[in-house]
Structure 1
Amino acid sequence: MGVFRFSDEAVAAVVPILVYWAYSGVHTALGHGRVMAKYRLNTKAEEDSKNTVSKRAVLGNVLMQHLMQLVAVTVLTPRGAGGATTGDSPATASSSYLTAAHQIAVTVVLYDAYGYAWHRPAHRSRFLYRHLHSWHHRLVVPYAFGVKYGHPVEALITDKAGASLAILASGMSSSQRATVVFLSLCNIKGIDNHCGLCLLPRRLQSLRNSAAYHGVHHLPHGVRYNFSDLFFVTWDKAFGTYLHYTMLERPGGGGW
């Protein structure tokens, strides 16, 4: 009796999607709990009233993008591609882990730079914003599973093309396991930045991207600033698009 095996390419496509929904589900559950209310950047009422797209529409859009991703992998993966692996010696395994860690780090920097290089003109160009990027900004108050909500063409430019180019440039394309880690990490960080919960201590807010930092960008007065939307805030500080903000506790408690 044969054993059904997924190809490495299929695993690289499926696992980050599973991570996306599992991690966003955790954040969604946390956001509904009273214990986390003091960390919320917006109230539930604001989340429902300020956004111009329904959660059902957001859910359908993200599911469609994930389905397209799976279909593409199914069509492009050669039949018979298997997941057979061979054991490595401890020394070889240690070396491969270090290589993978280095490749992931390089890919993160390249992908983050690519994201800024696209995100800024997507706002400065009326055509790009009106026809593509304005979709994502229907979410004035972001939430966890809305990270990937947007125009399918922009998703192709940013997520698919951007990630693919970064992976190729870093030399990571030959390691499906490293690719899985990188794509899963991107999903986790994107969800952290859109979850609407400020869990970082104040002294760390200016050092890395966060829900508060990216939340400013989603506000009407912040859409032309804070274009760094994944890992680093370096690009905004380097190119003059950093908008300083201050965290103030909401009067009466219950969030910021």
Structure 2
Amino acid sequence: MVFWEEYASDEAMGTFAPIVVYWLYAGLYELLPPLDGYRLHTRKEEKVKNSVPLASVIKGVLLQQFFQATVAHGLFLFTSMTNASGITVQPSIPVQIVQFIIAMLVMDTWQYFVHRYMHQNKFLYRHIHSQHHKLVVPYAVGALYNHPLEGLLLDTVGGAISFLVSGMTARTAVYFFCFAVIKTVDDHCGLWLPGNIFHTLFQNNTAYHDIHHQLQGLKYNYSQPFFPIWDKLLGTHMPFNLVKRPEGGFEAKPIKNWSQN
């Protein structure tokens, strides 16, 4: 039994919990003090370089989440209709862990190739993906700020495929998609905080993705949200060093003399 069982179905939680978690986790970052000593960009850079106001970012994220919830609801409805017995048996913890890993790898694969193609295709970049890159200096609330078509193709369809291929239940999907949302927000938070477990466990982290948002890394570090596997295999991996700025904070700088795989 889980804590929400008396109040909502697994399908309802799978639809809406990731949205709630997004705003709670992103909101937590917004409520933090300036923390200039841990920022990857100065507040001045964020103000000058970003070309879209916060209100527009919030509207864009809410629009994407509307489509996300619609697709998720339809997906859970479809899988429940195809369950002939009408009874869902929750698998063991080891099986769920394997399903998690499969879903992570599937999501990474889908997002890498779609993301990379959106950069390589000039029409798609100019009219679709460039909206996300209007946030040259990423911040938490803007993690899912995309063109609606990109949000549908990259995140929503990618999530649906991960769910179907892994074979996870709606209940497992609640945990997986909430985890994926937290990881995505963290990758865009713009802060290199001490003790951040994501920076310890994942090479694909806040600084890694920050490189991609900068001019020198625009055609590198496409991988998201979990592992840099495809970047390393296909020669689009740009390693970096974190360098302390004299005025405080850090800067992610590409390593000199690095070469493509």
Q: TM-score range by the shorter chain?
A: 0.7 to 0.9
| 2-structure distance, mates of 1:246, 1:158 | 29
CA-CA distance at 1:68 after TM superposition: 3.2
Q: Which residue of 2 aligns with 1:246?
A: 241
| 1-structure distance, mates of 2:247, 2:75 | 55
Residue 51 of structure 1 contacts residue 139 of structure 1 at CA under 8 Å; is this kept in 2? yes
Structure number having the greater helix percentage: 1
Q: Which residue of 1 aligns with 2:186?
A: 192
CA-CA distance at 1:113 after TM superposition: 1.2
Structure 2 unaligned blocks of 5 or more: 1-5, 81-85, 252-261
Report 1:1-256 matches (<5 A): 5-30=7-32, 33-34=33-34, 36-71=35-70, 96-172=92-168, 175-199=169-193, 208-256=203-251
Q: Which amino acid aligns with 1:128?
A: L
Q: Which residue of 1 aligns with 2:254?
A: none
| 1-structure distance, mates of 2:150, 2:167 | 25
Aligned-pair RMSD on alpha carbons? 2.6
Q: Aligned pair in 2 of structure 1 residues 98, 50: CA closer, same or farther (>3 Å)?
A: same
Residue 211 of structure 2 contacts residue 221 of structure 2 at CA under 8 Å; is this kept in 1? yes
Q: TM-score, normalised by structure 1?
A: 0.83
Residue 205 of structure 1 contacts residue 213 of structure 1 at CA under 8 Å; is this kept in 2? no
Q: Aligned pair in 2 of structure 1 residues 205, 42: CA closer, same or farther (>3 Å)?
A: farther
Deviation track 1:228-255 (CA, whole Å, cap 9, x = no partner) reads: 1211112111110111222111113244
Which SS does the other structure have where 2:221 is aligned? coil
Residue 10 of structure 1 contacts residue 73 of structure 1 at CA under 8 Å; is this kept in 2? no
Q: Which has the higher contact order (CA 8 A, sep 6+)?
A: 1
Q: TM-score, normalised by structure 2?
A: 0.82
Deviation track 1:27-73 (CA, whole Å, cap 9, x = no partner) reads: 1222xx15x32111011121111011111100011112223333555
Residue 119 of structure 2 contacts residue 219 of structure 2 at CA under 8 Å; is this kept in 1? yes
Which SS does the other structure have where 1:247 is aligned? strand
What is the percentage of aligned positions where both structures have the same residue?
A: 40
| 2-structure distance, mates of 1:241, 1:160 | 24
Residue 16 of structure 1 contacts residue 183 of structure 1 at CA under 8 Å; is this kept in 2? yes
| 1-structure distance, mates of 2:54, 2:63 | 14
Residue 192 of structure 2 contacts residue 206 of structure 2 at CA under 8 Å; is this kept in 1? yes
Q: Which amino acid aligns with 1:149?
A: Y
CA-CA distance at 1:19 after TM superposition: 0.7
Q: Aligned pair in 2 of structure 1 residues 76, 167: CA closer, same or farther (>3 Å)?
A: closer
Deviation track 1:106-135 (CA, whole Å, cap 9, x = no partner) reads: 101111111111111110110111121111
How many aligned residue pairs are there? Answer: 236
Q: Which amino acid aligns with 2:216?
A: H
Task: Write out the 4+ residue segments of structure 1 that deviate beyond 2 Å after TM superposition.
Answer: 4-8, 67-78, 204-207, 252-256
Deviation track 1:62-100 (CA, whole Å, cap 9, x = no partner) reads: 11222333355567776xx9xxx99x9xxxx7x622211
